[in-house]
């Protein structure tokens, strides 16, 4: 078993495998988002209605990829080696999420075009997009090494938590503000629960070392 563990560790560090895995994940993330948008636009049309539905679908697909990158490491810390593979694929899932978001952003620009004017009041969203591609940029080992491990962890934590906040605005705060508790759309409930669970896992993983030390 020790030999198998060492072999698996060497394979995971093989520089020839990481780019291939990341490229395939990015391609899959984007292609699934593209297919979702294409099917929805073909059914509901390329006008406002079809575009809004496609936006919602691609947002949810992107969120699932983000959540795996967001909560995977915390799950491994809390629940042991069975989740190590998920934690090790955090970078890959993050890049797949960034790739899927390209389709979502394209649909937003298409909606702006249909409206005939630039969109306003989306500062929170665009800041989240900036965080997304900042993390993607620093996924390259040379840039990450140039930043330094300490600063990379700080940047990664701030960026990931901000992206989670953007999804919280989309799935929780925005709908509650617009519809109230009584009118909260049921379709948002599963995503809101999953987001809260992910944030809770990360907080528990962060405080666990301190509790163990006590």
* Mean pLDDT per 10-residue section of the chain, whose length is 214 residues: 36 46 91 98 96 96 96 92 89 95 96 80 91 93 89 95 97 93 93 96 84 50
- Burial environment of residue 20 by CB neighbours within 10 A (0 to 12, 13 to 18, 19 or more): exposed
Q: What pLDDT score does 208 carry?
A: 72
Q: Is 27 part of a structural domain of the chain?
A: yes
Q: What pLDDT score does 195 carry?
A: 97
Q: Is 101 part of a structural domain of the chain?
A: yes
- Burial environment of residue 153 by CB neighbours within 10 A (0 to 12, 13 to 18, 19 or more): exposed
Q: What is the pLDDT of residues 104-146, one digit of tens each?
A: 999 999 999 998 876 666 899 999 999 999 999 998 888 888 9
Structural domains of the chain, count: 1
What is the phi-psi region of residue 177: left when phi exceeds 0, alpha when psi lies from -120 to 50, beta otherwise?
alpha
Q: Is 73 part of a structural domain of the chain?
A: yes
**Spatial separation of the C-alpha atoms in residues 199 and 161, rounded to whole Å:** 8
Q: Is 10 part of a structural domain of the chain?
A: no
Q: At what angle do helices 48-79 and 17-44 cross, to 10 degrees?
A: 150
Q: Is 93 part of a structural domain of the chain?
A: yes
In terms of residue numbers, what domain contains 36?
A: 18-213
Q: Is 11 part of a structural domain of the chain?
A: no
Contacts of 198 (CB under 8 A, 6+ apart): 67, 70, 71, 74, 164
Q: Is 109 part of a structural domain of the chain?
A: yes
Q: What pLDDT score does 211 carry?
A: 53
Q: What pLDDT score does 21 carry?
A: 81
Tally of CA atoms within 13 A in the half-sphere of 3 that contains its CB: 0
- pTM of the predicted protein model: 0.86
CATH of the domain at 82: 1.20.120
Q: Is 97 part of a structural domain of the chain?
A: yes
């Amino acid at each position: 078993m020790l030999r198998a563990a060492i072999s698996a560790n060497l394979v995971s560090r093989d520089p020839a495998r990481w780019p291939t895995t990341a490229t395939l994940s990015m391609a899959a993330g984007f292609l699934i988002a593209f297919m979702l948008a294409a099917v929805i636009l073909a059914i509901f049309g390329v006008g406002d209605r079809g575009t809004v539905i496609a936006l919602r679908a691609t947002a949810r697909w992107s969120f699932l990829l983000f959540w795996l990158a967001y909560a995977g490491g915390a799950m491994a810390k809390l629940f042991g080696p069975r989740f190590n593979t998920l934690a090790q694929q955090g970078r890959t899932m993050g890049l797949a999420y960034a790739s899927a978001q390209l389709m979502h952003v394209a649909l937003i620009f298409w909606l702006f075009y249909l409206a005939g004017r630039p969109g306003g009041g989306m500062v929170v969203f665009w800041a989240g997009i900036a965080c997304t591609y900042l993390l993607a940029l620093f996924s390259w080992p040379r840039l990450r090494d140039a930043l330094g491990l300490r600063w990379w962890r700080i940047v990664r934590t701030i960026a990931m938590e901000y992206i989670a906040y953007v999804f919280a605005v989309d799935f929780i705060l925005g709908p509650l503000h617009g519809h109230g508790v009584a009118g909260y759309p049921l379709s948002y409930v599963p995503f809101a629960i999953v987001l809260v669970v992910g944030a809770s896992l990360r907080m528990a993983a962060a405080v666990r070392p301190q509790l163990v030390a006590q």
